[in-house]
Amino acid sequence: MKGSSSLYSITMINEQQIIVIGGGAGGMIAAWHAASLGAKVLLLEKNPQLGIKILISGGGKCNITNGADIQTMIRQFQTNESRFLKYAFHKFTNLALLDLLHTEGVETYVRENGKVFPKSHDAEDVLKALRNMMDRVNVTVKLQSPVKEIFVDPDGTFSIKTGRDTITASSVIVATGGSSYQKTGTTGDGFRWMKKLGHTIVPLRPALTPIIVSPAPPSLWQGTPIRDCTLMAISDKKIVSEWRGDVLITHFGLSGPATLEVSRNAYLEFELGKTINMCVDFYPELSFEQLDEKMIADIASAPARTILTLTEQLVPQKLAEYILVSAKIGFIKKLNQLSKNERRGLTTILKRFSLGTVKEIPLDRGEVTAGGVALNEVDPTTMESTVVKGLYLCGEILDIAGPVGGYNLQAAFSTGFVAGENAAHPSK
Ligand SMILES: Cc1cc2nc3c(=O)[nH]c(=O)nc-3n(C[C@H](O)[C@H](O)[C@H](O)COP(=O)(O)OP(=O)(O)OC[C@H]3O[C@@H](n4cnc5c(N)ncnc54)[C@H](O)[C@@H]3O)c2cc1C
């Protein structure tokens, strides 16, 4: 008997079994695939239900994956992450994932931006499919089974200590996810275990996170979307992160796709103690001079209008008065009375309008966690740890964080598939 403790009973279920810890996207695919190859698989999930992150993904609609070709998908990740994911993304592609879901009766569609969703717009359908797949190949699922510790025994097998008992296994797949949205169960337990077992943990940082700014936006602006702008994080007059897309002004600061994408790199500067100014370019497709030309044309087309009327057409209406105050132009000034300096001053603001400085980029509110188990300590063709034999990792516990668009779930599914296959057939 291994890992014995007087406080816990020891359940020797089967030394040859694979234990998967964590019933999210990565863990469920890993468990299903290993069992479909004939392995005896036990999945331990701390929550009373599987796949809570899947249920909240894509606002409950679940952006399952992306419809881009595999090369394009891989390129969405940072260079070291792309290199690591290449094998897994080819081994278990977006199309292979969708084929599986279609077989399970989940119809999907691709949006113009490549995001793939279930036609039902119900993440529960994706989760149901994964549960059915696991049922069919006899994966044993134990809910409300939080794993407390993993021990490697002298003979290379594992003892997994849960709240109730200690279970032994020939190999373990750790799929405990990241460290954000902790209420969903991802409290970063896996990082602690992996560190204890000798792995390097790349520091955990927020990614795809809303940004809290100071001063907080005026209440009038709250809920205002700024469509198709470029959001910039500026430090020491340099743009340290930028993204073109939509920004949503909230009561605490900024959200929306462009904000989420900017957050990861903005945080790298913020943690150095730098002041980060969040600015928006309302007209990213036009240079300063082109926008100034547009202003000249707009003014010429209706010179008797007030500057407020024009500004309300150029930016979200609720921001117009504030922008004119910033440009020191009276609201009722007629366009034909606008000086060249006033016009160019306004153009400058439209190209770089400050929405406040970064106050916080909270790790817990990130859709993903950047950082995690160092990729150079995991074999990308098997997902086996190079530090501990028989230990496999998949999903967000790895030092991987992709952009919005279905890439993170695909990364969890692809790495889970590879981990499941190799845990079942370790000689491969
Ligand atoms: C609000 C939100 C929206 C998102 N939307 C999308 C989207 O639309 N598309 C997309 O691609 N990505 C999206 N993501 C990201 C995506 O959900 C994750 O990257 C993905 O779920 C990671 O999968 P995983 O299997 O690694 O981890 P998770 O899905 O987080 O699963 C980990 C599981 O491990 C369990 N666990 C943790 N510790 C223990 C323990 N000690 N014992 C037992 N079990 C444990 C947890 O309870 C959890 O169920 C979103 C994330 C959030 C937070």
Distance 74 CA to ligand 1 centre (A): 20
List the beta strands (DSSP E) in 333-412.
353-360, 368-373, 391-393
Within 10 angstroms of residue 162's Cβ, the number of other Cβ atoms is: 20
Confidence of residue 386 (pLDDT cuts 50, 70, 90): very high
Amino acid letter, 56: I
Q: Is the pLDDT of residue 12 over 90?
A: no
Q: What is the mean pLDDT of the chain?
A: 95
Instruction: Give 283-316 pLDDT, tens digit per residue.
Output: 999 999 999 999 999 999 999 999 999 999 999 9
At residue 16, the pLDDT reads 65
Among protein residues, the one whose CA lies closest to atom 4 of ligand 1:
57
User: Is the pTM here over 0.85, yes or no?
Assistant: yes
d(CA 122, CA 97): 17
Q: Is the pLDDT of residue 4 over 60?
A: no
**Fold (topology level) of 9-204+370-424:** FAD/NAD(P)-binding domain (3.50.50)
Amino acid (one-letter) located at 91: K
4-13, 63-72, 372-381: least confidently modelled range: 4-13
Ligand 1 centre to CA of 295 (Å) is 47
Residue 46 near ligand 1, beta carbon < 6 Å: yes
Question: What backbone torsions phi and psi does residue 234 show, to the nearest 5 degrees?
Answer: -115, 125
Calculate mean pLDDT across residues 145-171. Answer: 95
Question: What are the boundaries of each domain within the chain?
Answer: 9-204+370-424, 210-361
